[in-house]
Amino acid sequence: MNQTGTTARGLSEAIEILEACLGDAALLEAMERTVDLVTDTLDRGGRILVCGNGGSMSDAMHFAEELSGRFRERRRALPALALSDPAVLTCIANDFGFEEVFARQVEAHGRAGDLLLVLSTSGDSKNVLRAVQVARERGLKTVGMTGRDSGALSGQADVTVLVPRAKQSDRIQEVHLVLLHGLIESIEARLALGTAGA
């Protein structure tokens, strides 16, 4: 297959998955609940912690920077932290084990009234599941974005956003990014941020 055919196939797959999301009532309801939880957290002075592995870590960092920095328009900064500092991650992995790399940071930074958003394409990443466990013990709300069959994450997070149909991690991550952008847009609208405080 030539490059044009490969590109067209990839675009077609992405469109099919996005269309499946549009028709998935459970996903749309989960996103509405996520908007409610995140805006309530921010409105009450809490902050958003975000984590994931690999490409999902990149999405977590992207989401946090668009909350604390900006999305499309200038507005006040929103308190968000990606648990992604390499020095912290490697210290914890070395001293406590890789399963603790996010949980230990939730213990350090998370407070009752905050929210932890985790991204895991499988829903079975042990370090992500451990972070959710510690977050719940500390009184944080939890949201999990996942794919495939959602794994163990669906039984632990307060809200699970499951990408339908996609089986490959890259396609799931693509949808996660679309959903995260929509989440930011909804947060800004709900909190009536606009250009206020810019």
165: nearest Cα among 53, 52, 15: 15
With residue 20 as reference, give the H or E element that holds it: helix 3-22
Q: What local confidence, expressed as pLDDT, does residue 149 receive?
A: 84
Give dist(CA 187, CA 167) in Å, integer.
29
**pLDDT at residue 198 tops 60:** no
Give dist(CA 162, CA 79) in Å, integer.
25
**pLDDT at residue 4 tops 90:** no
**What are the pLDDT digits (tens) for 78-102?**
999 999 999 999 999 999 999 999 9
**Is the sign of the CA dihedral 14, 17, 23, 29 positive or negative?**
negative
**pLDDT at residue 21 tops 70:** yes
Structure tokens, 76:
């006040």
Give dist(CA 30, CA 170) in Å, integer.
21
Q: What average pLDDT does range 35-55 have in this prediction? A: 97
Asked: is 3-190 a CATH 3.30.465.10 domain? The reply is no
**What are the pLDDT digits (tens) for 140-161?**
999 999 998 888 999 899 999 9
Global confidence as pTM: 0.93
Q: What local confidence, expressed as pLDDT, does residue 197 receive?
A: 43
Q: What local confidence, expressed as pLDDT, does residue 54 receive?
A: 97
Task: Please provide the average confidence, as pLDDT, over all residues in the chain.
Answer: 94
Q: How many CA atoms lie within 13 A of 100 on its CB side?
A: 12
**Domain regions of the chain by residue span:** 3-190
Specify whether the CB–CB gap between 161 and 31 falls below 8 A: yes
Most confident of 9-23, 34-48, 164-178: 34-48
Decide the pairing of beta strands 115-119 and 48-52: parallel
Specify whether the CB–CB gap between 63 and 186 falls below 8 A: no
